[in-house]
Structure 1
Amino acid sequence: MAEKKAEQYYTPPPKLGKWEGFRIFIWNSETHQFLGRTGASWGKIILFYILFYSGLIGFFLAMIAVFYQTIDLRIPKWQQDKSVIGNNPGLGFRPMPPESNVESTLIWYRGNDERNYKYWTDELDKFLQVYKNPGTVPGDGKNTVHCDFENYPGDKVCYVDPKEWSYCSSENHYSYHRSAPCIFLKLNKIYGWVPEYYNDTNSLPENMPKDLKDHIQTVENPHALNTVWVSCEGENPADVENIGPIQYIPRRGFPGFFFPFKNKEGYLSPLVAVWFERPTTGVLINIECKAWAHNIRHDRAERRGSVHFELMID
């Protein structure tokens, strides 16, 4: 009869305390393991991740290089009606209310309190800083020229002269201390967009404000009609009554020699400062400003061609 084999039992490892188990996990002198791995094991896994992430980074850089071959940093691939922006520029205003009231379009201040209106003048200082120090724009000073309706910039860009802003200058606190604030208007930039001017005084639209029609018909220089005109009005009868006289500085529109926008170095958008000379104080005034050209359509909901804001001076 075959000899019966002796039964063998598995002997469990000795129970270790928490500190002893942690110490052995950090370094096991018997197996020469660090953090549960031998030196060879650590070498293999480190090499794997070095190769893996090197390949990943290389692939990413290669895709970026291919992508940059398909775009031009100055000229957008999709332009005007083929782009998300479209070919109908919007109109913006400055100064803007605080970011805490991002949905607001209300300019509200006390004209006899410098600490109160200082926010608005400081915002205009920030916005106009690049115009006062044009050297901060790349390339400016090298390709900037003074333009007029007889001299277009060609391959250069037109200079915007802050000295033309008169009462709407920083030195005059933008007339906020006189309760006669200046609001700056700016037409949004669309690459390659060319305005179709109202340079025929016999074809002005019926809905154009009468005072703007009268102004256009008094323009003597026919070249000066190549302008994207600007108008600001009170939205309701009460607003019309309270808005008071308005001046447009330095001119009533955006001159044609600033168009088309070609993203040239040093380019600065033209500005129109709307000076509200004597608005009624203590009441809210709803104001709508519009830009006028044949190919500018006005849509307040989509913020195209016009801009709405409210003015209240205590």
Structure 2
Amino acid sequence: MPSNKDDGGWKKFVWDSEKGELLGRTGSSWFKIIAFYVVFYGCLAGIFIGTIQALLLTLSNYKPTWQDRVAPPGLSHTPRSDKSELSFNLNDMGTYLPYTKALREFMAKYNDELQRDQMKYEDCGEEPATYKDRGELISDIGTRKACRFSRSLLGPCSGIEDNEFGFKEGKPCVIVKLNRIVSFRPKPPPSNASVPDEAQSKVQPNVIPIYCTNRREEDAGKIGEIKYYGIGGGFPLQYYPYYGKLLHPHYLQPLVALQFTNLTLNTELRIECKVFGENIDYSDKDRYQGRFDIKLSINSL
């Protein structure tokens, strides 16, 4: 059969010398379509860049624009597991080694030698005091100093003398902090009536009190004594407000150490800790908003 030479095959489609077409288009046609898409996508890129720049002009370098949509504050603890469960055996160091390691790493940033720079840190007292005002967020003052917080304030839970943080003796420590929120000023409870009866002994001026108790009725009487270490046994107001990473890069959150000194052994216990304040709320959807609960289990068998 004779070969089909009507269209010249694919070679003629790529380049047609008779019509001067490349891939079915002449040079002027290619120029027009390329110019169109260059202008089209250039305009899209310009609109995109313009909207981003306009958005950036509405944002502050010092404070989140929509911070009012955050329900403050979060309460967190160290050591912490995925299921908020601390379980270990007194006779097996390997079972509590991850907890003590996490505590040592967390407390390392509170070493006294790291807080000696007079240009970065200042003494704010070891007794509760009112807020430490360091000016407005947007001003020419620049970087703000941070209050020192010595590990020694946490007593036997500081890790200075006992680097096992009480776990070896069955008296474990948990370090608690309020999460950082720019410009947030936690307010103490307006009255004792806003605090449960069992926690009213923790209320004092210039402190956000924290109180822990059994979460389940069946655990009543099994928790034993809980000791609170820190300034005023809570979160003192002189460490607030926080000015953000840009203006307050060396900020140290005040800490509270909880030591469970007489837990019932070989039993899983549910413990809830809450902070109390006029502008502190709780949510069933967020178990760390103003509170947290942990499962504690110490085995001796």
Q: TM-score, normalised by structure 2?
A: 0.73
Counterpart selection for 1:225 from 205, 228, 250:
205
Counterpart selection for 1:259 from 240, 247, 269:
240
Counterpart selection for 1:121 from 100, 109, 124:
100
Q: Report if the CA contact (8 A) 1:97-1:107 is conserved.
A: yes
The answer for unaligned runs of 5 or more in structure 2 is: 135-144
Counterpart selection for 1:278 from 232, 240, 262:
262
Q: 1:42 to 1:225 in 2, by over 3 A?
A: same
Counterpart selection for 1:162 from 140, 148, 151:
151
Q: Report if the CA contact (8 A) 1:248-1:275 is conserved.
A: yes
Deviations 1:232-267 (A, max 9, x none): 111234423222221112241000112233334132
Whole-angstrom CA distance in 1 between matches of 2:86 and 2:105? 17
SS at match of 2:177: strand
Whole-angstrom CA distance in 1 between matches of 2:131 and 2:80? 32
Whole-angstrom CA distance in 2 between matches of 1:293 and 1:239? 26
Superposition deviation, residue 288 in structure 1: 0.7
Whole-angstrom CA distance in 1 between matches of 2:37 and 2:113? 50
Counterpart selection for 2:58 from 70, 88, 95:
70
Superposition deviation, residue 64 in structure 1: 2.0
Q: TM-score, normalised by structure 1?
A: 0.70
Q: 1:269 to 1:215 in 2, by over 3 A?
A: closer
SS at match of 2:275: strand
- Give the corresponding residue for 1:213: 200
Counterpart selection for 1:94 from 60, 65, 78:
78
- Letter of the aligned partner of 1:274 in structure 2? L
- Give the corresponding residue for 1:221: none
User: Alignment length, in residue pairs?
Assistant: 275
- Give the corresponding residue for 1:220: none
Q: Which has the larger radius of gyration?
A: 1
Q: 1:194 to 1:206 in 2, by over 3 A?
A: closer
Whole-angstrom CA distance in 1 between matches of 2:157 and 2:260? 10
Counterpart selection for 2:169 from 178, 185, 188:
178
Counterpart selection for 2:188 from 180, 197, 213:
197
Whole-angstrom CA distance in 1 between matches of 2:65 and 2:186? 21
The answer for unaligned runs of 5 or more in structure 1 is: 1-9, 99-103, 217-223
Superposition deviation, residue 285 in structure 1: 0.6
- Structure 1, 255-264 or 30-39: larger mean CA deviation: 30-39
Counterpart selection for 1:293 from 260, 277, 283:
277
- Give the corresponding residue for 1:244: 224
Q: Report if the CA contact (8 A) 1:186-1:270 is conserved.
A: yes
Counterpart selection for 1:144 from 121, 125, 137:
121
- Give the corresponding residue for 1:84: 69
Q: Report if the CA contact (8 A) 1:198-1:226 is conserved.
A: no
